[in-house]
Structures are given as C-alpha cells and as structure tokens.
Amino acid sequence: MEHVSQFLAHYGYFAIFVLLMAGIVGPLIPDDTILILSGIAAHEGRLELGTTIAVAYAGSLVGITVSYTIGRTGAIFALRRIRFLDHWIGNHLPRVERWFDRHGKWTLFFGYFVAGIRHFTAVAAGISKLRLRTFALYAYPGGLIWVISFVAIGYYLGAGWEAYAHRMHSGAAIAAVAVVAVAALIWYAKRRRPIE
C-alpha cells in the first residue's frame, strides 16, 4: 500500500489514470484504495477534486472497456495460457458468468462495488456478446458513481478512513451475526409450532 501511495504522490493524475485502468483490467491493484487515497490527496490540497474525479473516471472507463474487449474478442482464452492467470481466471470467471446470466446488465452497474467481481463483469459481458452500446449504458454510469463514492470517502474522512473502515467492518460483522441469530430463532420457532 505504501508503494501505491508513493506512486500517487510522485505521478499525481497520471498515476491515478494508469493504476485505475490497470486495476479494472487486472485484479492485482486495489482500486477502491487508490480512489480513497486520491480523495485524501485532494482533501490535503495536493490534487484538485474535480480533476481527480475526471481522471479516475477516465481510467476506469478505459479499463472496463478494455476488459469488455478482452471478453468480446476471445482474448480471455489467450490470457489463460499464462499459468497464474489461468488458475485465477478458472476459479472466478465461471461464477461471474453465472451471476451475469442471472442478473444481466445490472451486474455491470453494481459490479464496481464488489471487489473481485468488477474485474470480470465486463469480460463476462463481452463473452456473452452484449452490444457495446448496451454495455456502455449500464457500465459507464456505474463507474461514475463508484469513482465519486470512493473519492468522496477519502476527501471527507481524510487520513482517518482506515479507522472508520475498521469500525464499519466490526459493525457489519455484529449486524450479520444478529441477522443470522434472529433468522435461526424464527426458523426454530416455526419448527416447534404444533401442526394445526
């Protein structure tokens, strides 16, 4: 993470564009964190907020369009010849394809917000031969909302975002346990109810 932060500090807008473009195409770069760090840099006055959002959005558009093209042209099968990519793609792409078949175009819109999914939604759309115009109609607005949301987290929470994220994860875990407990109690109560 420190290397990403240093790269952003040194190369500014160029780094944001390149990292987001590469991060959308490949899963090895933490896109959400890049957006948050970019927002922090804008908060500190090292970058201009509007330009940061525009450059980040441009990088995500190029990345998602390249991913779509990889799926559409069949290049995904060439990438699978690379050993470590074959294993990673083999594990994740079938799940994403099933999800895309079920939820279709809206997966492109909301997929940005799910780590690991956003890297393959465009590829799955390309493989399924979704028309470019339809792809853009769903994917591009989703990308804009994703970029604005995560840059805003960095901009408004500043350097303390990690503490907030930790609290949110703890709260989410507690809420999940509570939901499961309530669901289990309801299920148990229905089973114990005498048949009328």
Number of domains the chain contains: 1
Assess if residue 188 is contained within a domain.
no
Res 66: pLDDT: 92
Range of the domain at 66: 2-160
Assess if residue 165 is contained within a domain.
no
Assess if residue 183 is contained within a domain.
no
Assess if residue 74 is contained within a domain.
yes
* Token pair for 23: 């991060």
Residues of the chain with pLDDT under 70: 1-9, 27-28, 76-101, 103-104, 116, 159-196
Res 147: pLDDT: 93
Res 56: pLDDT: 96
Res 31: pLDDT: 84
Assess if residue 181 is contained within a domain.
no
Res 169: pLDDT: 46
Q: Residue 94: how many CB atoms within 10 A of its CB?
A: 12
Assess if residue 110 is contained within a domain.
yes
Assess if residue 67 is contained within a domain.
yes
Report the distance separating Cα 25 and Cα 27, nearest Å.
7
According to DSSP, residue 115 is labeled T
* Token pair for 137: 């109609």
- Residue 99 burial (CB < 10 Å; 0-12/13-18/19+)? middle
Question: Is the model's pTM score more than 0.95?
Answer: no
Assess if residue 189 is contained within a domain.
no
